[in-house]
């Protein structure tokens, strides 16, 4: 009994020292930066946790497309939709002056895409027009909120569409979450407690194929590291303030274990490169911490 107690104390002391070292390194990155930085890390197998400003509710920007995709796929699980089901995307659905790889490819619209393809555009390429198409399809942001509430997700608010956020940039603050809530949600997703196995695998593959944010959490990780992630970025809507520069995801380690990480940079007057580099540097420090 004494031996077991000693081992537990040793493990606890190691975890404490690990967190302290991680905290010092992360503090060295964010000190003197004119920004609020939220960081949360959750190891899936060891339950190691780290948090810096993890309880602060910060703007999500396009990270909320993960919450949206999950909501749509839950409806598919329940038989309301099928990922093979075709939908007509009209030219009127493809708004100008917004990030939309689909509009760039099909400027005239009037194309049929499967629901699965629309989700891929929304998540992997962060297309704002397909995002709002999905929101109209399911009944608006409130439906996303209701689904997340039903799954016990805390510290989350989803109120606005992408078009809402483009019409008034201050609406970008209306979709918000804490990084602590985000990593817990990712663990719930990974464990199959959010969606069916089929939908979980489908969304995981889409996130692994994300093409945005190559200068964020994936930038300094070894090539071919599996990173299932979703990014978010506001730019500087008033030419001074970056509302958010975000990334969150599930990372697979060389030993086959996993951790969730969420890094949200908010209300920053730093340059885009400084903001994204903070995300990238913090991600590398966390990776190194797990690979000692």
Active site residues: 62, 162
* The CA-based dihedral angle spanning residues 196, 197, 200, 206, taken in that order and rounded to the nearest 10 degrees: -130
Taking alpha carbons only, the member of 221, 225, 219, 237 closest to residue 276 is 219
Angstrom distance (rounded) from CA 219 to CA 232: 15
The CA-CA-CA angle for residues 111, 113, 118, to 5°, reads 120
Angstrom distance (rounded) from CA 235 to CA 228: 23
Residue 221's Cβ-side half-sphere holds a number of Cα atoms within 13 Å equal to 24
Sign of the four-CA dihedral 58, 62, 64, 67: negative
Reduced to 3 states (helix: H, G, I; strand: E, B; else coil), residue 81 is coil
Backbone angles phi, psi at 174, to 5 degrees: -80, -25
Alpha helical stretches, state H, 49-196: 64-77, 101-105, 115-124, 128-138, 141-150, 162-167, 179-190
Residues 6+ apart with CB under 8 A from 274: 33, 268
Angstrom distance (rounded) from CA 246 to CA 242: 11
């Amino acid at each position: 009994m004494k031996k077991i107690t000693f081992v537990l104390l040793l493990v606890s002391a190691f975890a404490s020292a690990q967190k302290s070292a991680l905290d010092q390194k992360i503090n060295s990155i964010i000190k003197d930066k004119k920004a609020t930085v939220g960081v949360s890390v959750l190891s899936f197998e060891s339950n190691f946790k780290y948090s810096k400003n993890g309880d602060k509710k910060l703007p999500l920007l396009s990270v909320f497309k993960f919450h949206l995709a999950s909501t749509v796929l839950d409806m598919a699980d329940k038989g309301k939709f099928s990922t093979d089901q075709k939908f007509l995307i009209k030219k009127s659905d493809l708004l100008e002056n917004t990030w939309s790889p689909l509009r760039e490819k099909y400027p005239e619209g009037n194309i049929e895409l499967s629901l699965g393809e629309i989700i891929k555009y929304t998540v992997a390429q962060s297309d704002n027009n397909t995002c709002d198409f999905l929101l109209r399809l399911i009944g608006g942001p409130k439906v996303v909120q209701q689904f997340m509430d039903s799954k016990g997700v805390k510290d989350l608010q989803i109120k606005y569409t992408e078009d809402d956020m483009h019409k008034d940039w201050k609406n970008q603050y209306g979709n918000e979450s804490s990084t602590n809530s985000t990593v817990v949600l990712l663990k719930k997703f990974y464990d199959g407690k959010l969606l069916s196995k089929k939908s979980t695998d489908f969304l995981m593959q889409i996130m692994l194929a994300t093409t945005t944010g190559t200068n964020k959490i994936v930038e300094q990780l070894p090539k071919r590291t599996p990173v299932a992630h979703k990014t978010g970025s506001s730019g500087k809507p008033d030419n001074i303030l970056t509302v958010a520069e975000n990334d969150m995801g599930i990372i697979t380690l060389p030993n086959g274990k996993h951790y969730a990480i969420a890094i949200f940079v908010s209300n920053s007057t730093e340059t885009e490169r400084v903001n994204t580099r903070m995300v990238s540097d913090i991600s590398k420090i966390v990776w190194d911490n797990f690979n000692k």
